[in-house]
């Protein structure tokens, strides 16, 4: 019975994602066409890439509230530097390294000072936004190379595949993350730390190294999302990541990874990304006003989590 | 987990969501600002120069029009301290505003009339911080505080106190609801009406039109939308097929447009957008395999001017750059410092329209701009209204000398 219940919990988000697509396609004419499907995949992939690091930090028992700020920093730094003539092949990797360093600092401080990562990453966000302004003075003039814009275009192709590059990148990321979570030492340490941090330390898991690496991954992927969003919006905007605080956390939790960590995984977050994107598209398609969309989205999220997200924490099940 | 409990939770929650959603939609619909009585409107507009009254159509969507709050005020002796109480300096629009104020301040400093620097604060869109900063600027001896309020009422207490100290409070971009400041800018309702009317005419009165709006629920957006809807209502063949909120942000606009287009397969003929979002909307259309539509946009951001040129669009925009707004705000303040009395608290001008020829001229004046540029392509003279138009709002005092050179 427990096995069946566990399977149901895992499969429910995927079933809901598929069900939502079928319902929306039935209700909204034209939703099943190729352009709409590619739109859905593109928007879900942007959210999926931004949510990847967040998933791992949450599994480990942390939380990364600096995702929007790192996205904004990467977007502005990439577009402004490219606009000033810096090669995208120099500024791109440099921005990703900066994201990795910011993430590593988040993890390092959280673990060394034993301060909640929620507070540390919130403080980092403020510092990042301040640093962006101090450097640009609000003058975010920049531009984005065409190949980045094409990478996140609804009608973009990747070689012979009729999907934009960001969707392909997301698929690769899913494979890497699933292997990382299930087959690597880092993955096992993350689950152990999220399930019971005290016991994990007693089991000699190097928590400082773990937190530093996991937050570094989150920072690096947030930077990647920032570059992609620069291409998507064709602009340098420090606030471009703001929408991704609520949505990345929602995608992780709706996918079935509990906010207190120890369980779940990135594969589930994929379902969460689709559910969030499909729900908003359904509500827009039904012609609901912005206020009504927000109300419905909030209620539907609570409903979904109530259905399959109420399992007790891992350490309470032992 | 019982199947029945899941079904029950699902049905109950969906019902609840439906009821709340309908309530929310009605609340939004009820957001329409009630009109003052005819007598109240007449009293309010009595202070406005007759030639300018047409630009105050449905003024109540923005803020109350009232007599000059500085009627009993006398200007201090120079040198004057200019200050900027900004809600968020993080955009190129706001940077242009600041730079224009600094440039004009430097001209008057050279004439010995102003202090060397403009004092600046930035509240990162936190209204209580902005209020504290306003009070500090007032204490630091500012004679003119130019504010960009992030909220129409949040600065009122501070403006009341600074007005009592003899400080000139000027707002740009967003007026305040209290009569303690001179509000300089344009009537959003009028602007929304102009844009939509152009789209209606360009479509020969027939077709499906989408409104790409800013932040839902704020007075600027409500005014713009109300004006646009009123203008389009004059064309029976025009159907407003939706309103998308882009939050004046390219990424959000494009995301929301992509979602809207994916779920609305019907033909789209026109878009009325309110600035910072036009290129995102057009890119979303192109990437969704849709043909270009007739579009009017509320601003002169460089990206749209360049896109307009590159795609050879037929469009309309309104000039509304930060530098130009800075010039008009400075002009009003300096007139007051020279003893000229404003006749009203609300100095509104129609934003100059930019047609295809005007956009081509502006593109030539801004070499190197592209559809990804984030600057604002102001006219070289930085005027949003002729100085003679602004002069209608003043009486008495001395002529301003030297004249501000934007």
> Closest Cα of chain B to A287: distance in Å?
7
The per-residue pLDDT for range B226-275, each reduced to its tens digit, is 999 999 999 999 999 999 999 888 888 999 999 999 999 889 999 999 98
* Residue A129 to residues A186, A263, A296, B90, B372, Cα–Cα distance (Å): 31, 32, 31, 9, 22
* B223 compared with B81, residue with greater pLDDT: B81
The per-residue pLDDT for range A92-144, each reduced to its tens digit, is 999 999 999 999 999 999 999 999 999 999 999 999 998 998 888 767 777 88
What CATH number should be reported for the domain holding residue B229? 3.40.50.2300
Residue B108 lies in a domain: yes
| Residues 93-132 in A contacting B (C-alpha not used; CB under 8 Å) | 129, 132
* B210 compared with B9, residue with greater pLDDT: B210
pLDDT band at B395 (very low <50, low <70, confident <90, very high): very high
Residue B359 lies in a domain: no
Q: What CA–CA distance (Å, rounded) separates A63 from B353?
A: 49
B259 and A43: CB-CB below 8 Å? yes
Q: Are residues B282 and B332 in the same domain?
A: no
Q: Are residues B198 and B299 in the same domain?
A: yes
Q: Are residues B120 and B177 in the same domain?
A: yes
Q: Are residues B77 and B149 in the same domain?
A: yes
Tokens coding A30: 């034209």
* Residue A123 to residues A104, A106, A222, Cα–Cα distance (Å): 14, 9, 17
Residue B365 lies in a domain: no
Q: CB contact, 8 Å: A134 with chain B?
A: no
Mean pLDDT value across residues B85-93: 84
| Domain with B108 in it | 44-186+322-349+384-395
The per-residue pLDDT for range A141-195, each reduced to its tens digit, is 778 898 999 999 998 899 999 999 999 999 999 999 999 999 999 999 999 999 9
Q: CB contact, 8 Å: A79 with chain B?
A: yes
For residue A138, give the nearest of B94, B252, B262 by CB distance.
Answer: B94
Supply φ then ψ for residue A123, to 5 degrees. -65, -40
Q: Are residues B61 and B182 in the same domain?
A: yes
| Angle formed at CA B213 by CA B210 and CA B219, multiple of 5 degrees | 135
Percent helix, strand and coil across chain A, each rounded to 5? 75, 0, 25
Q: Are residues B201 and B136 in the same domain?
A: no
The per-residue pLDDT for range A19-63, each reduced to its tens digit, is 999 999 998 888 888 889 999 999 999 999 999 999 999 999 999
Residue B106 lies in a domain: yes
The per-residue pLDDT for range B10-52, each reduced to its tens digit, is 555 555 555 555 555 555 444 567 888 888 898 889 989 999 9
Q: Which residues of B touch A285 (CB under 8 A)?
A: 262-264
Q: Which of A9, A125, A234, A303 to mutate to test the interface with B (most CBs of B within 10 A)?
A: A234
- Averaged confidence pLDDT in chain A: 90
- Smallest CA-to-CA distance from A68 within B252, B298, B45 is with B252
**Long-range pairs, A16-23, Cβ under 8 A, ≥24:** A16/A271, A16/A275, A16/A304, A17/A271, A17/A274, A17/A275, A17/A278, A20/A274, A20/A275, A20/A278, A20/A279, A20/A282, A21/A274, A21/A278, A23/A282
Would you say A66 and A100 are in contact if contact means Cβ atoms under 8 Å apart?
no
Mean pLDDT value across residues B123-136: 92
Would you say A101 and A154 are in contact if contact means Cβ atoms under 8 Å apart?
no
Residue B288 lies in a domain: yes
As beta bridge partners, residue B148 has: B86
Domains of chain A: 11-317 (1.10.3470)
Strand pairing of B294-297 and B315-318?
A: parallel
Would you say A226 and A98 are in contact if contact means Cβ atoms under 8 Å apart?
no
Name the closest residue on chain B to residue A72, using Cα atoms: B251
Burial of B381 from C-beta contacts in 10 A (0-12 / 13-18 / 19+): exposed
The per-residue pLDDT for range B363-378, each reduced to its tens digit, is 999 998 888 787 899 9
Q: What CA–CA distance (Å, rounded) separates A245 from A105?
A: 19
Q: What CA–CA distance (Å, rounded) separates B399 from B340?
A: 8
Q: Are residues B101 and B225 in the same domain?
A: no
Residue B364 lies in a domain: no
The predicted structure's pLDDT at residue B311:
93
Residue B8 lies in a domain: no
Kindly report the length of chain B.
406
The predicted structure's pLDDT at residue B190:
96
| Residues 228-267 in A contacting B (C-alpha not used; CB under 8 Å) | 229, 232-240, 243
pTM: 0.85
The predicted structure's pLDDT at residue B151:
84
Give the largest Cα separation in chain B, rounded: 83
Residue B303 lies in a domain: yes
Q: Are residues B235 and B135 in the same domain?
A: no
Q: b/e for B62-82, b at 16 or more Cβ within 10 A?
A: bbbbeebbbeeeebeeeebbb
pLDDT at residue A298 tops 90: no
| Residues 132-151 in B contacting A (C-alpha not used; CB under 8 Å) | none
Element (H or E) spanning B296, and its range? strand B294-297
Q: Are residues B161 and B218 in the same domain?
A: no
Q: Are residues B145 and B194 in the same domain?
A: no
Q: CB contact, 8 Å: B1 with chain A?
A: yes
Domain count of the fold of chain B: 2
Q: Which residues of A touch B94 (CB under 8 A)?
A: 138
Would you say A150 and A88 are in contact if contact means Cβ atoms under 8 Å apart?
no
Q: CB contact, 8 Å: A143 with chain B?
A: yes
Tokens coding A60: 């480990």
A297-311, B157-171, B368-382, B390-404: segment of lowest average pLDDT: A297-311
Q: Are residues B200 and B283 in the same domain?
A: yes
Cβ neighbors of B1 (< 8 A, separation 6 or more) are A5, A8, A308
Q: Are residues B268 and B198 in the same domain?
A: yes
B251 and A240: CB-CB below 8 Å? yes
* Residue B297 to residues A139, A287, B59, Cα–Cα distance (Å): 22, 23, 21
pLDDT band at A310 (very low <50, low <70, confident <90, very high): low
């Amino acid at each position: 019975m427990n096995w069946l219940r566990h399977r149901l919990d895992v499969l429910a988000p995927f079933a809901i994602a598929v069900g939502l697509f079928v319902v929306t396609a039935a209700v909204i004419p034209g939703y099943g066409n190729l352009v709409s499907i590619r739109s859905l995949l593109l928007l879900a992939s942007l959210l999926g890439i931004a949510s990847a690091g967040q998933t791992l930090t949450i599994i480990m028992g942390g939380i990364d509230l600096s995702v929007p700020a790192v996205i904004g920093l990467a977007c502005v730094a990439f577009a402004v530097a490219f606009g000033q003539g810096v090669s995208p092949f120099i500024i791109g990797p440099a921005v990703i390294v900066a994201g990795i360093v910011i993430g590593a600092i988040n993890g390092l401080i959280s673990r060394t000072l034993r301060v909640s990562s929620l507070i540390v990453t919130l403080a980092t966000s403020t510092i990042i936004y301040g640093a962006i302004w101090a450097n640009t003075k609000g003058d975010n003039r920049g531009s984005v190379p065409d190949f980045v814009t094409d990478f996140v275009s609804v009608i973009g192709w990747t070689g012979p595949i009729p999907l934009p590059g960001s969707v392909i990148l997301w698929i690769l990321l899913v494979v890497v993350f699933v292997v990382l979570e299930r087959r690597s030492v880092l993955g096992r340490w993350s689950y152990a730390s999220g399930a019971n941090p005290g016991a994990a330390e007693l089991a000699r898991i190097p928590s400082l190294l773990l937190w530093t690496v996991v937050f570094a991954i989150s920072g690096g992927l947030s930077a990647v999302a920032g570059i992609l969003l620069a291409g998507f919006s064709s602009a340098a905007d420090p606030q471009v990541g703001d929408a991704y605080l609520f949505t990345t956390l929602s995608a992780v939790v709706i996918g079935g990874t509990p906010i207190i960590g120890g369980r779940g995984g990135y594969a589930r977050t994929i379902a969460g990304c689709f559910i969030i994107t499909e729900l908003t598209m359904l509500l827009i398609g039904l012609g609901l006003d912005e206020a009504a969309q927000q109300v419905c989205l909030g209620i539907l999220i609570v409903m979904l989590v109530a259905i399959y997200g109420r399992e007790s924490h891992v350490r309470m099940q032992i | 987990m019982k199947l029945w409990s899941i079904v029950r939770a699902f049905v109950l929650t969906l019902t609840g969501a439906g009821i709340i959603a309908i309530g929310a939609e009605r609340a939004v619909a009820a957001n329409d600002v009630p009109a003052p009585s005819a007598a109240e409107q007449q009293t309010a507009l009595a202070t406005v120069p007759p030639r300018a009254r047409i630009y105050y159509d449905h003024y109540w969507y923005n803020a109350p029009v009232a007599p000059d709050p500085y009627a009993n005020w006398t200007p201090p002796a120079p040198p004057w301290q200019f200050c900027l109480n900004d809600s968020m300096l993080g955009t190129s629009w706001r940077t242009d505003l600041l730079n224009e104020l600094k440039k004009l301040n430097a001209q008057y400093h050279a004439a010995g009339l102003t202090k060397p620097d403009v004092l600046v604060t930035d509240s990162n869109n936190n209204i209580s911080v902005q209020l504290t900063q306003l009070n500090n600027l007032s204490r630091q001896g500012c004679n003119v505080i130019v504010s960009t309020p992030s909220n129409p009422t949040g600065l009122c207490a501070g403006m009341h106190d600074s007005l009592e100290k003899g400080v000139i409070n000027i707002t740009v971009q967003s007026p305040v609801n209290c009569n303690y400041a001179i509000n300089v800018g344009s009537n959003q309702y009028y602007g929304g009406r102009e844009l939509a009317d152009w789209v209606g005419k360009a479509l020969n009165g027939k077709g499906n039109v989408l409104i790409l709006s800013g932040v839902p629920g704020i007075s600027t957006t409500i005014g713009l939308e109300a004006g646009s809807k009123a203008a389009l209502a004059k064309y029976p063949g025009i159907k407003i097929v939706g309103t998308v909120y882009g939050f004046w942000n390219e990424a959000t606009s494009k995301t929301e447009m992509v979602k809207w287009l994916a779920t609305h397969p019907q033909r789209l003929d026109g878009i009325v957008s309110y600035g910072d979002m036009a290129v995102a909307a057009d890119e979303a259309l192109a990437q969704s395999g849709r043909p270009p539509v007739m579009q009017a946009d509320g601003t002169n951001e460089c990206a749209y001017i360049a896109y307009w040129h590159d795609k050879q669009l037929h469009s309309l925009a309104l000039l509304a750059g930060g530098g130009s707004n800075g010039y008009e705000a400075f002009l009003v303040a300096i007139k007051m410092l020279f003893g000229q009395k404003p006749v009203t608290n609300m100095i509104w001008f129609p934003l100059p329209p930019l047609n295809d020829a005007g956009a081509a001229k502006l593109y030539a004046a801004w070499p190197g701009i592209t559809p990804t540029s984030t600057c604002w392509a102001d006219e070289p003279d930085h005027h949003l209204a002729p100085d003679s138009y602004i002069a209608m709002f003043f009486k008495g005092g001395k002529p301003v000398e030297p004249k501000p050179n934007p």
